[in-house]
Amino acid sequence: MKVRKQYQDHVEAFTKICHRLAQNMYVTGYGGNLAWKLEQNLIMITPTQRNKGDVSGKDVVFVDLEGNVVEGKRRPTGELPMYLKFFNERPDVTSVIHCHPPCVCAMAISAGKNHLMRPLYPETTTEIGPVPVVPYAQPLTDALAEKFSPYLRKYNSFIMANHGLVTMSRDDIEWTLMNVEVLESTAQSILLALSAGGIKELSLEDVRGLGEVMLQRNLPLFGAPDVNASLEALYFDGEGDPL
């Protein structure tokens, strides 16, 4: 049985997410790409030079963890080196979205403080965590993939400087898109708050309480397994001061 037919339901869900990204204007032109690990050595990924609003099931490409095309008539996204790094170095990750949501992208070109590294809303704090800025490198290159190395095992979402956003999760592609939507909403709130007088963060005690909620609900911490000690340690140092 062909892979596309075997995973028909996944392909349909994947293309719907492509279309939602385009409808939300989180991707424009040929920009953005996404991938979903279906098996240990099988990844479904978007094709190169295709508007995500036009991606159909027949356009989707299947590759292995070495980047070899398993099935598909189109070439995979030119950001394939980046995705291979993600899935090989974070085997716990199931799905990844790279896109350009406007408010997050405003922060990607901002010279100011990266407020997405701080605890602001419960949902963003417990489901996404801090979002570091990965230094700029030319798109579609191995150099860009390597820029993620200092951050990849500790975090699940990344602002790409002067470029866009990458979000990954251990769940399916729809869950990862919901995290993108939460981040874009949070970034919009940050920009509005800055124009309205400033930012008010959650306290150490607030974050500690959210960490207890995560333990009660058996929610995993961000990053690779066993890398981060606690939720509060992602936001505060041993003295209780903001990182």
Coil, strand, or helix at residue 37?
Answer: strand
Q: Residue 36: inside a domain, yes or no?
A: yes
Q: Residue 242: inside a domain, yes or no?
A: no
Number of helical (H) and strand (E) elements in the chain, helices listed first: 8, 8
Per-residue confidence (pLDDT) for residue 145, from 0 to 100: 94
pLDDT lower than 50: segments of the chain: none
Q: In 80-153, where does DSSP find H-type helix?
A: 80-89, 102-108, 122-127, 142-146
CA distance 98 to 33: 5
In the numeric block, the tokens 């008010």 are attached to: 200
Kindly report the average pLDDT of the chain as a whole number: 96
47-69: pLDDT as tens digits: 999 999 999 999 999 999 999 99
Per-residue confidence (pLDDT) for residue 1, from 0 to 100: 63
Per-residue confidence (pLDDT) for residue 192, from 0 to 100: 97
Reading the block at residue 181, the tokens are 């939507």
Catalytic hit among 12, 66, 71, 79: 79
112-134: pLDDT as tens digits: 999 999 999 999 999 999 999 99
Boundaries of domain holding 133: 3-234
Q: Residue 42: inside a domain, yes or no?
A: yes
Distance of alpha carbon 36 from the chain centroid: 12
Q: Residue 125: inside a domain, yes or no?
A: yes
| Domain CATH for 31 | 3.40.225.10
Q: Residue 181: inside a domain, yes or no?
A: yes
Reading the block at residue 159, the tokens are 């602002």
User: Total domain count for the chain?
Assistant: 1
Known active-site residue 79:
yes
Per-residue confidence (pLDDT) for residue 240, from 0 to 100: 86
Q: What single DSSP character describes residue 121?
A: S
Per-residue confidence (pLDDT) for residue 238, from 0 to 100: 86
Per-residue confidence (pLDDT) for residue 239, from 0 to 100: 84
Across-strand partners of 169? 95
Q: Residue 122: inside a domain, yes or no?
A: yes
Q: Residue 221: inside a domain, yes or no?
A: yes
Cα Dmax for the chain = 59
CA distance 230 to 195: 32
